[in-house]
Amino acid sequence: MSAALVTGGAQGLGAAIVRALHAAGHKVAIGDIDMDAASALAGELGDGAMALRLDVREQAGFEQALAAMVAAWGSAGILVNNAVMTVARPVLEISPEEFDAVIAVNLRGTFIGSQVFGRYFRDRSHGRIVNIASLAGQNGGTSTGAHYAASKGGIITLTKVFARDLAPFGITVNAIAPGPLDLPSVRALVPADRLDALVAGIPAGSLGDPAFVAAMVVQLASPAAAFTTGATWDVNGGLFMR
């Protein structure tokens, strides 16, 4: 099994991904700016899990995380770009500074992480990168801001670019684009009086299961996924079909 880094792995969907990878036998580094939460999760999982302070906006942070994984476990084979900043604000009210802040975490973070780990994977002739995109990056978003939607659309494009350029080196790069999931972050973003209407508008009739998305990450990170690259996998209850 490989060693994986999950960015933003201390809570929410990231924590579900961490648990799924660990349960599948992978060693998992939980990269997050919230070290208390990351350390708590690592302590819960025990052997094969460690917490790393990681600000995805900084190249040095990814380099240090990679070095820590190699020092502890001998190698790294999986990167999951999950860290996210979500802000819901009408497009005409978004300041340039807030736009830059969201793009820096969501899109810049994915780019830097894929570069740092992509170079390492290239030299080892193997690697798996899984990016967490969003339905918002495909349909422009409904409950999120334009900066969030733009960043997630950019992640889908970056996935294709890295997949094309890294494929000759035995590296796959894929994205998962979830719709609304049953997570505290979604319930915090959507007011209670709007949640029922949101669910009613989903053809499948429910919020998505984070555990299923996490299971998809495990599958895309497996050696058997060698022929799947550059794809965006939709998990949206039928809200967006193509």
Write down all domains in the chain, each with its CATH number in brackets.
3-235 (3.40.50.720)
Strands 232-235 and 171-178: parallel
Sequence-ordered list of residues with C-beta below 8 angstroms from that of 229, at least 6 positions apart, any chain: 163, 167, 171, 172, 173, 174
What is the reported pLDDT for 202? 92
Tens place of pLDDT for every residue, the chain, 242 residues? Answer: 899 999 999 999 999 999 999 999 999 999 999 999 999 999 999 999 999 999 999 999 999 999 999 999 999 999 999 999 999 899 999 999 999 999 999 999 999 999 999 999 999 999 999 999 999 999 998 778 999 999 999 999 999 999 999 999 999 999 999 998 988 877 777 777 778 888 889 999 999 999 999 999 999 999 999 999 999 999 999 999 98
First to last CA, the chain: 34
What is the reported pLDDT for 62? 98
**Is residue 120 flagged as an active site residue?**
no
Question: How far from 26 is each of 20, 22, 123, 164, 172, CA to CA, in Å?
Answer: 9, 5, 21, 26, 17
What is the reported pLDDT for 15? 98
Catalytic residue selected from 117, 121, 148, 162:
148
Sequence-ordered list of residues with C-beta below 8 angstroms from that of 140, at least 6 positions apart, any chain: 146, 149
